[in-house]
Chains A and B, each alone.
Chain A
Amino acid sequence: MNMTLGRRVLLATAAPAMALFVALLVSSAVLIASGSNPLEAFSEMVKNGVKLEVIIDTLNRATPLFLSGIAAAIGFKMNLFNIGVEGQYQLAAFAAAVVGANVVLPGVLHVGLIILVAMVVGALWSGLAGVLKTERGVNEVIGTIMLNYVVTNGIIAALYTHVIDKGNANNAGTPANDESGWLPDLNGVVELFTREIQKGRKLTGMLAIAIVVGIFYHLLVNRSRIGFDLRASGINPVAARAGGVPPKRMVIMSMLIGGVIAGLVGLPEIVGNNHSYDQGFVKGLGFLGIGVALLGRNKPLGIALSALLFAFLDSSAGVLQFSGTASKEIVVIMQATILFAAVIAYEVVNRIRLREEVKSASLTTGATA
């Protein structure tokens, strides 16, 4: 009674599909209760969502969400609840913006330096939480939460007045990078297949980097020896240690790799949109990434799909309000119910799968494959 491929695919997709369905039901109920027509709202979202410009918005939103999800997932694979991506990406973006604004370098080197600074700063800040855990026994949840506050209310707040561009009183921020520090957008690539992108929308070049990160994550976790050690240490640290995997080194390593990727999360702003870190800098991506990783089951493709789903919902918020079909908060309710339902559905599916495995193993009479 081997599990067929079809059954595996069914089990893998059943949970997110169920979660989406439950989320639609719950948000319909909320919409009806608040006097809106759910069918109208959903059709408005879909109609809006297929417009080219909105697709670009969705991809631009999904890119940092995906990076943030991957950064969190590396910790989760090791059973490390790293919720410090929030602080890591903000500090990294801040440092990258400051360095980017104060160096003069030719094109590729300038962008490259900005990206490198972001990755290194992200890794150092994340690594700090790792060292606190391995050397002082500070739980990584506490350590990373505290370090988040140290970044946002401490370091950035303290340094901000020293690095801002005094000429721009309205939205004070770091001076904008020279054009050599900009990452080219991907509009040209998209326009090969469709019409011209209008309304000044630009598809962030970080999308290409995010795709590379996704492939890197897959190879690292599923194919490399380091990934094997990480997963082993996450599943059973004692057995992993007996199998030659030093647990402390694995904690530090996963925090460092997670930090490198967390450093990239805020870069679309720095190398793309504003070319600076200002008061409007996007916050909260680190926490959203945890949800994205959870929904995507720490798998690269899953994280990509859940980042796209969250981004689609985010980019639908506006149209619901403009068209007057529903209030924009409904998308947050949808995101929350999807997550709740997904966590429950994954657990249910997991139990079904385990039960089937036990049954199929006990029915095997010989070891002949």
Chain B
Amino acid sequence: MQALHAGRIEIFGENIAPTGVFGLGGKNGMAYVPQDRHVEGLLLTALLWENAALGYQTRAPFSKGMWIDRAGSRTRTDEIREAFDVRSPNAEVSAHALSGGNQQKLIIGREMTSDPKFLIAAHPTRGIDVGAQSDVWGKLRDARANGLATMLISADLDELIGLSDTIMVMFHGQLVATLDPAEVTPRELGKYMTGAASMSDSTTVPTEVQA
């Protein structure tokens, strides 16, 4: 993630650029599934409920005023574990103890249960087993069906074609194609991704992306 130098980021008409994507704590309705869960997503030596609270620690049920609400956090964590099939004995084990897939399901659960308006999911199934992958895809489909605006960033072509409504391809910082997943083939998509082809009508990055 880089600092914003210019432009606006609007979510439902509200400019969130001043506070940035980081440091939102979910406050602006922005949810984020980072591409590297160990680097950006988890506190590995902290407990599951603490990880479930991360980013949302300023609001209920994770806190009350200036205090952490441990009971509320645990209850919410158990709900996430149940709904997102995070296989773990309880909310009191450290995130370290979980498999990659279960860690990822915990993050997705955390980001999707706090009523987001906009979800950025970066490589959400990278490095996880097939079962967890299909769970994550199912959750992203559900979210889309429920009207959650989702930006899926991925290098997995089947994932992109299978989940997206619209696919936009970027190459060297430029938007090179806007494609319909119902028509595009992985081979064609690959051409745009590697810069072998580009659409002449969309060579500039839009300065405003609106959800």
CA distance A360 to B87 in the complex (A): 10
Residues in chain A near residue B128, CB distance under 8 A? none
CB pair B68–A224 under 8 Å, yes or no, is yes
Whether, in the assembled complex, A242 has its beta carbon less than 8 Å from a beta carbon of chain B, the answer is yes
Measured CB to CB, the nearest residue on chain B to A244 is B25
- Give the Cβ gap from A219 to chain B, nearest Cβ, in Å: 8
Whether, in the assembled complex, B171 has its beta carbon less than 8 Å from a beta carbon of chain A, the answer is no
Encoded as 1 (CB less than 8 Å from any A CB) or 0, chain B from 1 to 26 comes to 10000000000000000000011111
CA distance A227 to B53 in the complex (A): 13
- For the residues of B in contact with A, the DSSP-based class is loop
CB pair B57–A367 under 8 Å, yes or no, is no
CB pair A223–B67 under 8 Å, yes or no, is yes
Binds B, one of A169-177, A231-239, A262-270, A308-316: A231-239
CB pair B68–A240 under 8 Å, yes or no, is no
CB pair A2–B90 under 8 Å, yes or no, is yes
Whether, in the assembled complex, A81 has its beta carbon less than 8 Å from a beta carbon of chain B, the answer is no
CB pair B22–A354 under 8 Å, yes or no, is no
CA distance A223 to B101 in the complex (A): 30
Whether, in the assembled complex, B193 has its beta carbon less than 8 Å from a beta carbon of chain A, the answer is no
Whether, in the assembled complex, A9 has its beta carbon less than 8 Å from a beta carbon of chain B, the answer is no
In this complex, the interface size class of chain B, counting residues with CB under 8 Å from chain A, is 35 or more
CA distance A191 to B87 in the complex (A): 56
Residues in chain A near residue B46, CB distance under 8 A? 231-232, 235
Q: Which of B30-45 contact A (CB under 8 A)?
A: 32, 34, 39-45
Q: Which of A349-365 contact B (CB under 8 A)?
A: 354, 357-358, 360-365
- Give the Cβ gap from A125 to chain B, nearest Cβ, in Å: 27
Whether, in the assembled complex, A106 has its beta carbon less than 8 Å from a beta carbon of chain B, the answer is no
CA distance A362 to B70 in the complex (A): 25
Binds A, one of B91-99, B144-152, B179-187: B91-99
Contact residue among B22, B67, B68, B87 (Cβ-Cβ distance under 8 Å from A367): B87
- Give the Cβ gap from B172 to chain A, nearest Cβ, in Å: 26
CB pair A367–B58 under 8 Å, yes or no, is no
CB pair B42–A366 under 8 Å, yes or no, is no
CB pair B39–A357 under 8 Å, yes or no, is no
Known: A228-B68, A235-B44, A242-B32. A357 touches B87 (CB 8 A): no
Contact residue among B55, B63, B97 (Cβ-Cβ distance under 8 Å from A242): B55
Whether, in the assembled complex, B170 has its beta carbon less than 8 Å from a beta carbon of chain A, the answer is no
Residues in chain B near residue A354, CB distance under 8 A? 94, 96-97
Known: A228-B53, A235-B45, A244-B55. A367 touches B86 (CB 8 A): yes
CA distance A241 to B39 in the complex (A): 11
CB pair B41–A369 under 8 Å, yes or no, is no
Residues in chain B near residue A228, CB distance under 8 A? 50, 53, 57, 63, 68
CB pair B97–A358 under 8 Å, yes or no, is yes
Whether, in the assembled complex, A368 has its beta carbon less than 8 Å from a beta carbon of chain B, the answer is yes
Whether, in the assembled complex, A188 has its beta carbon less than 8 Å from a beta carbon of chain B, the answer is no
Whether, in the assembled complex, B159 has its beta carbon less than 8 Å from a beta carbon of chain A, the answer is no
Q: Which of A1-49 contact B (CB under 8 A)?
A: 1-2
- Give the Cβ gap from A43 to chain B, nearest Cβ, in Å: 42
- Give the Cβ gap from B64 to chain A, nearest Cβ, in Å: 9
Q: Which of B62-81 contact A (CB under 8 A)?
A: 63, 66-68, 70, 78, 81
Measured CB to CB, the nearest residue on chain A to B26 is A244
Q: Which of A138-196 contact B (CB under 8 A)?
A: none
- Give the Cβ gap from B59 to chain A, nearest Cβ, in Å: 10
CB pair B66–A224 under 8 Å, yes or no, is yes
CA distance A282 to B98 in the complex (A): 49
Residues in chain B near residue A225, CB distance under 8 A? 57-58, 63, 66-68
Contact residue among A232, A357, A367, A368 (Cβ-Cβ distance under 8 Å from B54): A232
CB pair A239–B94 under 8 Å, yes or no, is no
- Give the Cβ gap from B151 to chain A, nearest Cβ, in Å: 16
Whether, in the assembled complex, B158 has its beta carbon less than 8 Å from a beta carbon of chain A, the answer is no
Whether, in the assembled complex, A226 has its beta carbon less than 8 Å from a beta carbon of chain B, the answer is yes
CA distance A288 to B41 in the complex (A): 36
CB pair B67–A242 under 8 Å, yes or no, is no
- Give the Cβ gap from B69 to chain A, nearest Cβ, in Å: 10
Residues in chain A near residue B56, CB distance under 8 A? 243
Residues of A within 8 A of B (CB): 1-2, 223-229, 231-232, 235-236, 238-244, 246, 354, 357-358, 360-369
Please name 12 pairs of A and B residues whose Cβ atoms are closer than 8 Å in the assembled complex, sorted by A.
A2-B90, A228-B53, A232-B46, A235-B46, A242-B32, A242-B41, A243-B57, A244-B26, A357-B94, A357-B96, A361-B98, A367-B81
